[in-house]
Amino acid sequence: MCRWPTARLRAPALAFALALLGAAASSSPSACPCADPALCRPLSGEMPFEVLVFDVGGTDWKHYDWSKVTTIAAFGAYNPELLCHAHANDVRVVLKGDVPIKDIIDPANRTAWIIDQVNLAKRQFMDGINLDLEEAVEFKSQGYYALTQLVNETTQIFHREIPGSQASNFAAVESQLDAFRRGEKIWSKVTFDVAWKPGCVDGRCYDYASIAHSCDFIFVMSYDMQSQIWGDCIAKANAPYNQTLAGYDAYLKLGIPSSKLVMGVPWYGYNYPCIYLLEAGKCVIQSIPFRGAPCSDLAGPQVPYKWIMQQLPKSISGRFWDDDQEAPYFVYKVNGTYHEVWYDDPQSISMKASLIKKLNLRGIGMWNGNLLDYVDPSAAMQTKAMWQALYPF
């Protein structure tokens, strides 16, 4: 049985945070980059179904299905045009939050980093932050506790400061935090990215229950499930259906509410060169150890869905379907070497997405929105089908 944390920022930490925020507030505010100044206001309200899109830059966002998107996690360079377009479509835009865990073990350093992110979000008129650390942490180490506190304190400060609070003393801030805890309107969003299942996947021994309780929701990266291959060194699916389901069952068994879980699906696959191709679906790959496992998906590079769809017609096998892993793959040969490509397509994604309704999850998202072909007219149906697969119900 998990116990939810009750820790809140104490007076010294709050005083330090307020001093930093006050100094930042005294500087000139950024000019709104949108034609309509109202589009620079943080969005409010809740969406009945969350669709979180990670965007890594460029202009692909102009072709997204904006009727489905609710949040953009901006992992590329700041783009005010994207921000204005998103807000015009009632879509939040959030920062990428990434910091070495060793740098936030000291409480003062941790608070200073959070304040830097809040001030950056304000200058860029953003709606929150997506914490994407993905660093190995030993169970109950200094980093383990510091990471939990980072999420807790980031959520408190972001919820208070976006939009900016007029509170100027400890009592007023505590009153606001109590209001947030009672479920009153929260503007900004703080989310945290986690591995496909809890425990110590890839060495990430986090306090998942406490982290999920602290932030608005956790984004479950239901992919890269072959980062540690403990059996034979055989190419496998990036996100097998049964492993995906097992991951969510494990999170729910920790006592994490289903409303705190957003499913992440991959819009990419892995291209494995085969040392031997025994038969289709049995591609022996190079043994590249990772965190104690003898083999891993490091044996093959990640490839975007748009490349996969271009390569599939050139394959020697055509599309195969693996009934055990519920995933497609194909085989091609180049310079005398066989390659086996495992990926996700509308069929496999819609099967996993159907779990959202079954398990009553909060929503879905993908890594990443830039991996489809938005340019070639012949790929238009493929691209549309991938967006539609997010809504199989």
User: Could you report the per-residue pLDDT of 295-324, keeping only the tens digit for each?
Assistant: 999 999 999 999 999 999 999 999 999 999
For residue 4, the model assigns a pLDDT of 33
**53 exposure class (CB count in 10 Å sphere: 0-12, 13-18, 19+):** buried
pLDDT above 70 covers a percentage of the chain that reads 86
Residue 326 or residue 279, greater confidence: 326
What is the predicted pLDDT for the residue at 26? 43
Amino acid 187: pLDDT: 58
Q: Is the pLDDT of residue 11 over 50?
A: no
Give the right CATH number for 11-24+47-267+344-388 from 3.40.50.450, 1.10.510.10, 3.30.565.10, 3.20.20.80: 3.20.20.80
Q: Is the pLDDT of residue 265 over 90?
A: yes
For residue 231, what pLDDT is reported? 86
Residues taking part in catalysis: 134
User: 52 by DSSP, 3-state: which?
Assistant: strand
pLDDT tens per residue across span 186-231: 457 999 999 999 999 999 999 999 999 999 999 999 999 999 998 8
Lay out the sheet containing 302-304: strands in order across.
302-304, 268-273, 337-342, 327-334, 320-322
Q: For the chain, how many residues are written?
A: 393
Q: What is the pTM of this model?
A: 0.88
Name 70's Cβ contacts closer than 8 Å, sequence gap at least 6. Answer: 47, 49, 50, 51, 52, 91, 92, 363
pLDDT higher than threshold 90 for residue 35 = yes
pLDDT at 10: 52
State whether residue 193 is helix, strand or coil: strand
pLDDT score, position 29: 65
Judged by average pLDDT, the poorest of 32-36, 161-165, 380-384 is 161-165
Residue 22 has pLDDT above 60, yes or no: no
pLDDT of residue 177: 43
Question: Model confidence at 280, in pLDDT bands (50, 70, 90)?
Answer: confident
Q: Is 164 helix (H, G, I), strand (E, B) or coil?
A: coil
Position 2 pLDDT exceeds 70: no
On the question of a cis peptide bond just before residue 109, with omega within 30 degrees of 0, the verdict is no
Using the 8-state DSSP alphabet, how is residue 145 labeled? H
User: Are the C-beta atoms of residues 193 and 219 closer than 8 Å to each other?
Assistant: yes
Of the two residues 282 and 180, the one the predictor is more confident about is 282
Q: Please answer whether residues 85 and 93 qualify as being in contact, where contact means their C-beta atoms are separated by less than 8 angstroms.
A: no
Closest-CA residue to 214 (of 161, 169, 158, 137):
158
Task: Find the mean pLDDT for residues 139-158.
Answer: 97
Instruction: Give how far Cα 147 sits from Cα of 105, 196, 233, Å.
Output: 8, 18, 34
Q: Is the pLDDT of residue 375 over 60?
A: yes
Which residue spans within 232-326 are E strands per DSSP? 261-266, 268-273, 276-279, 282-284, 302-304, 320-322
| Distance (Å) of CA 363 to CA 61, 218, 263 | 20, 10, 6
The answer, yes or no, to whether residue 373 has pLDDT greater than 70, is yes
* 368 closest CA partner among 50, 64, 82: 64
Asked if 264 and 257 touch (Cβ cutoff 8 Å), the reply is no
Give the per-residue pLDDT at 175.
43
Confidence (pLDDT) at 30:
80
Q: What pLDDT shows up at residue 164?
A: 40
- The pLDDT-based confidence of 63 (bands split at 50, 70, 90) is very high
Average pLDDT over residues 254-275: 97
Average pLDDT of the segment spanning 322-340? 97
